[in-house]
Structure 1
């Protein structure tokens, strides 16, 4: 009997062992390692690489206005604006598919292929001929736009792999690359194109070589940490179903769309410093109101200088005071300052409005990705959530500039129309974001959000 009892205990222990093995996958002991380290050499190298991606891509397209005005001088501002609109649309619209690919572990594939396409298209842009609209449209609008679509969202999403407590600050550092590019490239290209010894083609090629080298370095620095989610259908329908039932998330997207759509309809470069300034831009507003031409040359640099500060200081405070608590006031400030443009008819007024609006809109641009990460309950679905939001915003990016053209008119420019329209819509976006904050605060049971 004793021997039988021992055999029974052995079988029971063996059964318990296999049962535990079947319930606990081998990677369970590694779960603590999945928690973002909030620092370390690999994390900061990734931030540096992502910053370079933003600098080379979103930062570079700030220079759009400096050559299209002269290079396509026989075409209307509305025609030219479609190039920038398509570029922005293609950067955001594929987000739902790019986000799913990011979750599935294709981060490096997208970054490398997108970088190659982006630089190739930029070299093709250097071969375009003056007043050949279709050539610029294909090279810059289509080619560079698709390259942006493959690199932009993944370079933001990768921050969540390495940071949690300091995520907003890390995100702010990354997106400040776009503002820094917005300061450097318009001035650099303006000087290159005005030099008698350097043609448009050589200037673009020189910038393409610089960007190519930086993107090679960026791709070598960035690293992933989280294991990929199952590689299956292009869309994760289960995650998508959870997304569309998340009320705070949907209200935040509604606010984000209004804030992205209306800046495109109000002097492009002013209302969103990281967007390409088309003919309907802050520099043109300044020139049209008799501001010193020496100031108007540096309008975009002024805007992006304010935006750089806005992408760093509010994100630093957001990690301590809450993302919503910094984002909501920033959106309200941006809307209020837009109405202040009615009084910006002097050099001092332009500088003040540019710096304040740059700061407020820079805070918005950097805090929105951090907000989307905070609203995500499962980081394995982060790509889907950010991708869905970016895809919706893409529609606003495509249609904003043509609406701007209709509002401003083709004769004397009616600036008040687009200013009022954009200001009202940004304030409405502020209201939507306030609703999102209220719902999320009730869910979290805290106002420190």
Structure 2
């Protein structure tokens, strides 16, 4: 987006695009405090909640590889399990965001914890070759439960932070990276290097998750209730040009973003990479995303959320294209590190950007929830389309091109949203 108008550039110099503080906040809503013991406890609790939910989701590549190579179903059918789980994790942001805005934070996360852990134990009782059992427990049950946890864990940070909100949310979502390191290593070691079997391997991860989520629910503390304001209607959301362009752009990106998360381990093994190293590719990818989920958020406080998000999104598309050149162990590791950083940065900037596009602090939950709900459809169909394109012969070129093109298209739409947002702020300044 180098063709910014002079007014856009001048606006950025005035700081109008820098942080969510540039939104218009109702005078009736007091701004949240900056920090404090409760705020940092809530960050730690949110980090743990995201560790156990999105972090576990980032380990689905282990299951994708296991189910595919054991012949439970085709790659495309199996990916529907993971994409359905991912869909509900993100899409449940709409009802969870509404409940959050209504003041039911604590009830929502407790129900989410019970359903999520129960479904994980049900997965441990499923037979790896019974597709419907895997789909219901892992795809539907764990997906809905995690969705009731993920969105509130992110949105509650807005009760404690305003100026440093992007950094706070970035720290919280970095929990998904840590979970994406711990869970794949744990599951691969238990599944492939022990004799306890599928059931107890999953149960071990379920007991760990239970302890983490109980602690998370204790540590997360919502702020005082916000004054009741009118919730924006669907018409208001879809006619808000900068907002809806950004949301559709994220939808397009989600079609391609999770391709490496689901398929990189399988890709490495089928290209002759040592299986031991291949089992660590997801851990490497998620390890690198720790930095991607924090450092760009710090940069966004200086140069603006959109000015950080657009090039990060385009860079993610470039790295998907780079998979054409990955044929050995060294290339796989380099790709995993770079893709983890860029994709992690993209995911960590979504929440703060949606919050910045809110007109009032009391509608952040609805704005974030609607954005996540729409984007979830991209996550739902993207990886199954990849699996269909791969087919039984694993023609990687079609899936790579599809994922890259959708990501580039999303970057263009987000860039257009940035331009309209700049024009709106310019008119308000004038």
Q: Give your verdict on TM over 0.5.
A: yes
Query: Which residue number in structure 1 is paired with residue 423 of structure 2?
Result: 442
By how many angstroms is 1:345 displaced?
A: 1.3
Tell me which residue corresponds to 1:414: 395
Structure number with bigger Rg: 1
Q: Does 1:244 align with 2:238?
A: yes
List aligned pairs for 1:69-148, cutoff 5 A: 69-70=65-66, 73-148=71-146
Alignment counterpart, residue 429 of structure 1, candidates 410, 413, 423: 410
| Structure 1 residue 196, shift from structure 2 partner | 3.7
**Cα deviations by residue, 1:72-95 (Å, 9 ceiling, x for unpaired):** 633222221111121112222233
Alignment of 1:195-344 (within 5 A): 195-228=193-226, 230=228, 238-264=232-258, 267-269=259-261, 277=262, 281-344=263-326
For residues 407 and 387 of structure 1, the distance between their equivalents in structure 2, rounded to whole angstroms, comes to 31
How far does residue 290 in structure 1 lie from its aligned partner after superposition? 2.4
State the partner residue of 1:41: 37
2:48 is matched with: 52
Any unmatched runs of 5+ in structure 1?
1-30, 270-276
Provide the C-alpha distance between the structure 2 equivalents of 1:194 and 1:94, rounded to a whole number of angstroms. Answer: 33
- Distance apart, 1:195 and its partner CA: 4.0
- Greater alpha carbon shift after TM alignment, 237-246 vs 52-61: 237-246
Mapped partners of 2:195, 2:327: distance in 1: 36
Q: Which moved more, 1:363-372 or 1:332-341?
A: 332-341
**Counterpart for residue 377 of structure 1:** 359
Range with bigger deviation, 162-171 or 58-67: 58-67
Retained in 2: the 8 A contact 1:261–1:397? yes
Out of 193-202 and 161-170, give the one that drifted further.
Answer: 193-202
- Of the candidates 59, 62, 68, which is equivalent to residue 58 of structure 2? 62
Taking CA–CA contacts closer than 8 Å with sequence separation of 6 or more, which of the two structures ends up with the larger relative contact order?
Answer: 2
Q: Say if 1:351 and 1:404 are closer, same or farther in 2 by CA, change over 3 A.
A: same
Give unpaired runs (5+ residues) of structure 2.
1-26
Look up the match of 1:368: 350
For the residue of structure 2 that corresponds to 1:377, the secondary structure is: coil
The structural deviation recorded for 1:383 is: 1.3
Deviation at 1:247, TM superposition (A): 0.8
Deviating more after overlay: 45-54 vs 281-290: 281-290
CA contact (8 A) 2:248 2:375 kept: no
Shift of 1:227: 1.5
Corresponding position of 2:13: none
Describe the shift of the 1:76–1:188 C-alpha distance in structure 2 as closer, same or farther (beyond 3 A): same
Superposition deviation, residue 376 in structure 1? 0.7
- In 1, the alpha carbon distance for the partners of 2:295 and 2:332 equals 23
Corresponding residue for residue 18 of structure 2: none
- Quote the Cα distance in structure 2 between the aligned partners of 1:68 and 1:254: 28
Work out the CA distance in 1 between the residues paired with 2:60 and 2:311. 30
Question: Quick check: 1:239–1:384 contact (8 Å CA) kept in 2?
Answer: no
How much has 1:241 moved relative to structure 2?
Answer: 3.0
Whole-angstrom distance in 2 between the partners of 1:99 and 1:400: 24
Distance 1:229 1:118, change over 3 A: farther
Deviates more, 1:161-170 or 1:68-77: 68-77
Q: State whether residues 34 and 225 of structure 1, in contact with CA within 8 Å, keep that contact through their aligned partners in structure 2.
A: no
Whether the 8 Å CA contact 2:292–2:343 is kept in 1: the answer is yes
Shift of 1:229: 5.7
Q: CA deviation at 1:352?
A: 1.4
Equivalent-residue separation in structure 1 for 2:389 and 2:204 (angstroms): 37
Give the TM-score taking structure 2 as reference length.
Answer: 0.88
Distance 1:409 1:73 in 2: 14
Equivalent pairs, count: 399
The equivalent of 1:154 in structure 2 is 152
Counterparts of 2:344 and 2:66, CA distance in 1: 29
The aligned counterpart of 2:12 is none
